[in-house]
Amino acid sequence: MAELKYMSGFGNEFTSEDPRCPGALPEGQNNPQVCSYGLYAEQLSGSAFTCPRSTNKRSWLYRILPSVHHKPFAPVFQENLTHNWDEVDPEPNQLRWLPFHIPHAVDKKMDFVEGLHTICGAGEPKSRNGIAVHIYICNTSMIDKSFYNSDGDFLIVPQQGKLLIITEFGKMLVEPNEICVIQQGMHFSVEVFGETRGYVLEVFGAHFELPDLGPIGANGLANPRDFLVPVAWYEDRQVPGGFTVISKFQGKLFAAEQDSSPFNVVAWHGNYMPYKYNLENFMVINAVAFDHADPSIFTVLTAKSTRPGVAIADFVIFPPRWGVANRTFRPPYYHRNCMSEFMGLIKGHYEAKEEGFLPGGASLHSIMTPHGPDADCFEKASKAELRPERVAENTMSFMFESSLSMAVTKWGLKTCNRLDKSYYKCWEPLKRHFNPNWKPSGK
């Protein structure tokens, strides 16, 4: 395996070539009449040609064979990957799932693509507006198989097991507490090292970007220099038995055969590439006086809608930090929101629900569905001595938040058999503390 190397920066223009072929990148133009080493030039566009320069995304790939070199696509069976939001009736209740089961390889081999299970979403890829939330559970590497998503971007959040992601741009090793983004149209393959599980946020019609900082100033949250992109790496490999390319197109899966590996890019340059980020590098902004700051201060990446300040999807984390707010109920407040909130737990214990919300599980609080700390958390936090304390130590939870009203799939509600039907009971012990004769202390 080639040594893994990275270049840093978010949204920048990069150049990269495999050191085995120095000079593979052309000088002075993108598409010379004859490329060095007999390569083909191919542009991958992630935006309309006429987008403003600040939002225009494209990369030039210099490859042994162009990606068009394959046999026709044909539909393939997809078990639990869907964008059909009308399989079951709407579900307005608070939902929580126990950790999703990973099959043993001796019982059923399942690679990353086969292990994609859609749990909820909204919109649809044909109109280029919407999102989907998937769980991946797998135990087998993709062998002579690649995948690309014509519908949108994948933000991948590993929870158990590391992923070696081979892309047209190079390799990325992504471990739990890291994330990666594979943008629309990029070929990739996933190698795993045992039973593996995680979460995927898919967005149609927008790319992820860093949130605006506003009054925070120039520094804070996720810093651009901490995002890493792969260095060019290629394989010139014939596959006599056939290499399978899977395309996700309009929510359906299709397969095409070709006789060589698609990971044959010798050099590339541009600003449209896969990238990864270590969540430990997030610089937390928090309240230091009183009250509980809105969770938007923990936004790592956002996919903006056409409405200013409103996201198709935000990726938000709740990392280890100090809690110092005075005169404040410090856990998350009781809340009804005009956004959908899907939460997952990578590791540790979430402060507002230490029982039941487990690593590898999830919860969904839909638009205007009330939620908040369980009864035990409320009682403890109401009586706690307010001194500086570490919050979420050795814990990492996250939220996919969306302005869209997400529907839950049949798999999420019924087939997966991981739905915690007793979730609502965590609020039943909440007590009445109302006293109409209450007077402030000292009066």
- The dihedral through the CA atoms of 325, 329, 335, 340 has a sign that is positive
Catalytic position from the list 42, 134, 371, 401: 371
Q: How far apart are CA 313 and CA 130, in angstroms?
A: 9
Q: Which is catalytic among the residues 168, 191, 202, 341?
A: 341
Contact 361/344 with Cβ under 8 angstroms?
Answer: yes
**Residues in CB range of 307: below 8 A, 6 or more apart:** 403
Report the C-alpha gap between 224 and 200 in whole angstroms: 22
Give 357's contacts (C-beta < 8 A, 6+ positions apart): 96, 343, 345, 350, 363
The β-bridge partners of 110 are: none
Active site residue 341: yes
Do residues 381 and 351 touch, judged by C-beta distance below 8 A?
Answer: no
Q: Quote the CA–CA distance of 314 and 324 in Å, as a whole number.
A: 26
Task: Tell me the average pLDDT across 193-211.
Answer: 96
User: In angstroms, what is the C-alpha Rg of the chain?
Assistant: 23
Nearest of 176, 280, 283, 164 to residue 230 by alpha carbon: 164
More confident residue, 443 or 407: 407
Which of 335, 349, 354, 379 is an active site residue? 335
pLDDT tens-digit profile of 98-130? 999 999 988 999 999 999 999 999 999 999 999
More reliable by pLDDT, 8 or 123: 123
| Residues 374-389, mean pLDDT to the nearest whole number | 93
Mean of the per-residue pLDDT values for the chain? 94
Nearest-angstrom CA–CA distance, 142 and 157: 18
pLDDT: which is higher, 352 or 424: 424
- For the chain, domains (ranges, CATH) are 71-262+272-279 (2.60.120.10), 282-423 (2.60.120.10)
Q: Look at strands 340-347 and 116-124 and give their pairing.
A: unpaired
**Does the annotation count 371 as an active-site position?**
yes
* Residue type for position 164: L
| Residue 382: strand, helix, or coil | helix
What's the rounded mean pLDDT across residues 214-231?
93
Q: In this model, does residue 3 exceed pLDDT 60?
A: no
Structure tokens at 14: 């990069």
Q: How far is CA 400 from CA 12, 194, 258, 340, 344, in A?
A: 25, 26, 36, 8, 8
- Quote the DSSP letter at residue 432: P
In angstroms, the CA 239 to CA 259 distance is 5
Q: Please write the tens of the pLDDT for every residue from 280-320.
A: 999 999 999 999 888 999 999 999 999 999 999 999 999 99
Tell me how far apart the alpha carbons of residues 70 and 277 are, in angstroms, rounded to a whole number. 33
Q: Do 127 and 92 contact (CB within 8 A), yes or no?
A: no
- Give pLDDT, residue 6: 67
pLDDT score of 4: 54
Tokens of 324: 């110092």
Is the CB of residue 144 less than 8 Å from the CB of residue 240?
no
Are the CB atoms for 118 and 100 separated by under 8 Å? no
Q: Quick check: 2 pLDDT over 50? A: no
pLDDT value for 352: 64
Distance CA 334, CA 282 (A): 26
Q: Which residues of 200-212 are buried (b: 16+ CB within 10 A; e: fewer)?
A: bbbbbbbbbebbe
In this structure, are residues 328 and 229 in contact, taking their beta carbons and an 8 Å threshold? Answer: no
- Catalytic residue from among 178, 207, 365, 401: 365
**Is the separation of the CB atoms in 442 and 125 below 8 Å?**
no
Classified as helix, coil or strand, 53 is helix
Confidence of residue 1 (pLDDT cuts 50, 70, 90): very low
Cα–Cα distances in angstroms (integers) from residue 140 to residues 103, 149, 178, 192, in the given order: 10, 20, 21, 6
CA atoms within 13 A on the CB side of 440: 2
pLDDT exceeds cutoff 90 at 206: yes
* Helical residues (DSSP H) of 305-429, grouped into ranges: 375-383, 410
**pLDDT tens, residue by residue, 324-354:** 999 999 998 999 999 999 999 999 998 767 6
250 phi-psi bin (left φ>0, alpha ψ -120 to 50, beta other): left
Angle (CA) 344-126-407 rounded to 5° is: 35
Catalytic site residue from 292, 349, 354, 379: 292
Nearest to 206 by CA among 270, 157, 150, 152: 152
Banded model confidence at residue 355, pLDDT cuts 50, 70, 90: confident
Closest CA to 206 of 181, 229, 175: 181
Q: Is 69 labeled as catalytic in the residue annotation?
A: no
* Start-to-end C-alpha separation, the chain: 74
Whether 385 sits among the annotated catalytic residues: the reply is no
Distance between CA atoms of residues 149 and 124, nearest Å: 14
